[in-house]
Amino acid sequence: MRALMKVAKGPGNIEVRDIDIPKIPEENWVLIKVKAAGVCGTDLHIWHDQFPYWPPVVMGHEFSGEIVEVGSRVKEFIPGDRVVAEPHSLACGVCELCRQGKIQICAYKRSPGWGINGAFTDYIVLPSMLLHKIPEGLSYELAALAEPMAIAVHQVVERGRIECQDFVVVTGAGTIGIMAALTAKAMGAAKVAITGISACKYIRFDVAKELGADYVINVEKEDAVDAVLELTRGRGADIVIETSGAGSAIAQSVDMVRKCGRISAIGICSKEMISFPWNKAAFKVLDIIFNMSSSYTSWDRALSLIANTDKNIEKMITHKVSIDEWEKVFNELQDEKGIKALFLPE
Ligand SMILES: [Zn+2]
Ligand SMILES: [Zn+2]
C-alpha cells in the first residue's frame, strides 16, 4: 500500500512510499481500512521538525475507517464495524495518570502519525480500547472530524465548563477554534466572538460565522480587546477559549475576560517563554485552565455533536484529495487558505 511518510529527522523529509499492509501485532489490536484521514496542525509541525516523532513513520492521526480483522481477544468489535480511534496508542495503562483515565497525557503515549504508523495510507492497526463506533447515518468523512471535535469538546465543555448565557471569545479561527465556537453555541452560549488574522477572510471567517460565531474580529484591522469590551458593554467575556498559541492573544485574553472569568487554553505557543500579565490575572481572580489532547468521554460527546448538530459541518472540509497532493495541501493550510483537508483512499 502507498503511504505518506516522514522518512527521516529534520525539516521536510516527507515522501510517498510503498509499504506492506500491517499485521495485527497483539491479540487485543484490530486492523482498520482507512476511509478518510484529516490533516492536522500537528502534521504541519512534523513537516517542519517542530514536534517529536520517530521516523520512518506513516503520518496522520485523525481518521475514520472500517474494521477488517480483529485480534483473538477483541470482544467489543467485529469486522465491518465503522470506527474512529483516540490517538493515545502505547499509553502504559499502569501509571498514575492512566489509572485516573488520563491516558492522553501518559508519558509513554506514542500516537499514530508520529509515534507509530498512522492513517495517511490504506490500513492501520490500533488497540481496540481506543476505538469508538461511528453513529449510524454519520458519513466516514464527517466522522474523520471526531478527533479535533473531541479536543474542542474537552476544552470547552469538560474543562472550560461552558454555561448557557456565557459570552464566549475564541482566539484563533483554525479547525479547533471554529469547532470550539460551534461547541460553545451548541451548549447554549449567548454569543460567540472569534478572532483571526486577515488571511481568515479567504474562508475561515465565513465558515466560523456559518457554524456558530456571532462576531468575527480581525486582529490585524482592529484592537481585539476594545472589540470584546464594546460587545460586552465593558464587562468582558465569561470565558476565553485560547486556540491560537499567539503570545499577543494569550496576553490579551486577560483583558478580554471578566473578573472571575475563565481562560481555557489549547494553543501551543511557538516560543518557550512569553510575557503574561500575571498580577492583572490575579486581581481579576481568573481561572486559567490548560488542556492537552482529548479525553475518553469527549469522543462520544464529539461524535454525538457531529451527528446531531443542525449546522453544516461539511463546510469545514476544504480539501478532499489523494496523498500525492500533500505538498500543495500542506502549503495552503499553512497559509490559512483552508480549514480541514481530508486524504481519501484512491
Ligand atoms: Zn489532530
Ligand atoms: Zn500511563
Q: What mean pLDDT do residues 276-281 have? A: 97
Task: Report how far residue 161's alpha carbon sits from residue 15's, in angstroms, rounded to the nearest whole number.
Answer: 42
Sorted by sequence, the CB contacts under 8 Å of residue 279 that are 6+ apart come out as none
- Angle 109-113-115 (CA atoms, 0-180°, nearest 5)? 35
Nearest to 227 by CA among 272, 167, 308: 167
Query: How many angstroms separate the alpha carbon of residue 278 from the centre of ligand 1?
Result: 30
- Angle 246-319-40 (CA atoms, 0-180°, nearest 5)? 40
**280: which DSSP letter?**
H
Confidence of residue 76 (pLDDT cuts 50, 70, 90): very high
Query: How many angstroms separate the alpha carbon of residue 259 from the centre of ligand 1?
Result: 32
Instruction: Give the tens place of pLDDT for each residue, 229-268.
Output: 999 999 999 999 999 999 999 999 999 999 999 999 997 8
Percent of the chain with pLDDT over 90: 96
Query: How many angstroms separate the alpha carbon of residue 24 from the centre of ligand 2?
Result: 22
Q: How far does the chain reach from its first CA to its final CA, in angstroms?
A: 11
Residue 268 has a pLDDT of 82
Q: Where in the chain is the domain with CATH 3.40.50.720?
A: 151-290
Query: How many angstroms separate the alpha carbon of residue 102 from the centre of ligand 2?
Result: 8
Query: How many angstroms separate the alpha carbon of residue 62 from the centre of ligand 1?
Result: 6
Specify the length of the chain in residues.
346
Query: How many angstroms separate the alpha carbon of residue 158 from the centre of ligand 2?
Result: 21
Q: Is the pLDDT of residue 17 over 80?
A: yes
* 23-37, 151-165, 216-230, 265-279: the lowest-pLDDT one: 265-279
Structural fold of domain 151-290:
Rossmann fold (3.40.50)
Task: Report how far residue 114's alpha carbon sits from residue 250's, in angstroms, rounded to the nearest whole number.
Answer: 28
Q: Is the pLDDT of residue 346 over 80?
A: no
Residue 15 has a pLDDT of 97
Residue 305 has a pLDDT of 97
DSSP H/E element including 33: strand 29-38
Place of cell 465593558: 234
Query: How many angstroms separate the alpha carbon of residue 111 from the centre of ligand 2?
Result: 13
**Phi, psi (rounded to 5 degrees) for 164:** -55, 145
Confidence of residue 269 (pLDDT cuts 50, 70, 90): confident
Q: What mean pLDDT do residues 123-151 have? A: 97
The ligand with the least distance to the CA atom of 90 is 2
The ligand with the least distance to the CA atom of 95 is 2
The ligand with the least distance to the CA atom of 94 is 2
- The percent helix, strand, coil of the chain (3-state, each to 5) is 30, 25, 40
Query: How many angstroms separate the alpha carbon of residue 65 from the centre of ligand 1?
Result: 16
Query: How many angstroms separate the alpha carbon of residue 98 from the centre of ligand 2?
Result: 4
Query: How many angstroms separate the alpha carbon of residue 108 from the centre of ligand 2?
Result: 6
Place of cell 510517498: 16
Structural fold of domain 2-144+312-343:
Quinone Oxidoreductase; Chain A, domain 1 (3.90.180)
Mean confidence (pLDDT) of the chain: 96
Q: Where in the chain is the domain with CATH 3.90.180.10?
A: 2-144+312-343
Residue 133 has a pLDDT of 98
Percent of the chain with pLDDT over 70: 100
Q: What mean pLDDT do residues 197-222 have? A: 96
Q: Which three cell numbers stand for residue 192?
A: 460567540
Residue 249 has a pLDDT of 93
Q: What mean pLDDT do residues 101-130 have? A: 97
Q: What mean pLDDT do residues 210-228 have? A: 97
Confidence of residue 270 (pLDDT cuts 50, 70, 90): confident
Q: Would you call 147 helix, strand, or coil by DSSP?
A: helix
Instruction: Give the tens place of pLDDT for each residue, 297-339.
Output: 999 999 999 999 999 999 999 999 999 999 999 999 999 889 9
Residues forming a β-bridge with 216: 194
Query: How many angstroms separate the alpha carbon of residue 313 from the centre of ligand 2?
Result: 34
Residues whose Cβ atom is located within 5 A of ion ligand 1: 40, 62, 147
Task: Report how far residue 138's alpha carbon sits from residue 221's, in angstroms, rounded to the nearest whole number.
Answer: 39
